[in-house]
Amino acid sequence: MSQTCPVCHSSRCATKKTVSKYTIWECRDCGLFWVPGVGEAELADFYSSAYFSGSQEFGYGDYLKTEKVQRLNAVNLLGTIANHSRANGGLAKSKLLDVGCAYGFLVDEACKAGAEAEGVDYSESASRYAQTVLGRKVTLGNLHAINFPAEHFDAVTSVGSIEHLNDPVAMVEEIARITKPGGLFVVTTLNTKSLIRIFRFKPPEHLYYFSHRSLALLLESKGFAVESVKAYLANHALGEAVGLLLKALFGPRINIKPLIERMPWKQMNLPLPNNEMLMVARKR
Ligand SMILES: [Zn+2]
């Protein structure tokens, strides 16, 4: 079997390694790593509500407990958007979409800042939370299925979600279609070529592993001009950060929940350098 790179279309691709039943491919030209052939049904199955509560071997250890830090990161990211915004009235008057919005904290913070914000997410429990507890407009399911009008949004965000998709190329294409010319697309994801080059292949949770180069190639190929790329300094609750570090070092089998529960300083928030990047691109 051979593969063509979904980003740069090079045929110089080879298998990198196999993790459980998943084969990870590497593009020798743009450096992309990806896992082909994972279907929608398999993903839907994987993202049950257990994913966000720490009871699966993958996922977020009690995501809701990290609300404070999630909101802090959301506000920082909205600041980045405001800095780049050319919309009249800045963020306050803009239409914003958060793709892969999880519990909707970014959507909520954007609305509080005056934006007309909404979200979309695959998780039923997370989107229900955003709708009922936060009272925000969040659609469950696939971005394509919503079929937003063309050139509708001033800004689209994708925070730590593009690596989870089985076809991010199609997603970026759809985002390009629904973003206004001059509008922004803001992406955070793992950078395989960051200064801290420690990352693990963890399919089916992460299916695409970009470098700043391959992500820029993808965005540029779909009609965006990359304006900035930098290390993403996200805040982490200290307990969560230690848990993620332990998982990175010892693998997904380690049960982080009891460890984190025992930490007296688990609620402290710290902006930590990690292996993620923050890319801001503008629709041409
Ligand atoms: Zn490639």
Residue 56: pLDDT over 60: no
User: What number is the average pLDDT over the span 125-152?
Assistant: 95
Q: How many angstroms is it from 217 CA to the middle of ligand 1?
A: 9
d(CA 20, CA 34): 15
The pLDDT value recorded for residue 18 is 96
Residue 52: pLDDT over 60: no
The pLDDT value recorded for residue 259 is 63
d(CA 51, CA 165): 15
Nearest CA among 32, 35, 57 for reference residue 46: 57
Q: How many angstroms is it from 17 CA to the middle of ligand 1?
A: 17
The pLDDT value recorded for residue 256 is 64
Higher pLDDT, 199 or 251: 199
Quick one: tokens of 75? 């506000």
Pairing of strands 208-209, 138-140: unpaired
Between the ranges 42-46, 68-72, 169-173, where is the mean pLDDT highest? 169-173
Whose tokens are 């697309």? That residue is 185
Higher pLDDT, 147 or 273: 147
Contact at 8 Å (CB) between 212 and 279?
yes
Q: How many angstroms is it from 221 CA to the middle of ligand 1?
A: 12
The pLDDT value recorded for residue 51 is 62
d(CA 154, CA 252): 38
Higher pLDDT, 265 or 248: 248
Between the ranges 63-67, 126-130, 219-223, where is the mean pLDDT highest? 219-223
CATH fold, domain 13-283, is Rossmann fold (3.40.50)
The pLDDT value recorded for residue 268 is 65
Hey, how many other C-beta atoms are within 10 angstroms of the C-beta on 192? Answer: 20
Q: How many angstroms is it from 96 CA to the middle of ligand 1?
A: 30
Q: How many angstroms is it from 207 CA to the middle of ligand 1?
A: 15
Q: How many angstroms is it from 32 CA to the middle of ligand 1?
A: 6
- Write down the domain spans for the chain: 13-283
The pLDDT value recorded for residue 263 is 62
The pLDDT value recorded for residue 254 is 64
Q: How many angstroms is it from 181 CA to the middle of ligand 1?
A: 27
Residue 58: pLDDT over 50: no
Q: Which residues contact 243 (CB under 8 A, 6 or more apart)?
A: 61, 256, 259, 260
Between the ranges 61-75, 123-137, 191-205, 224-238, where is the mean pLDDT highest? 123-137
pLDDT range class, residue 196, cuts 50, 70, 90:
confident
Give helix then strand counts, H and E, for the chain: 9, 13
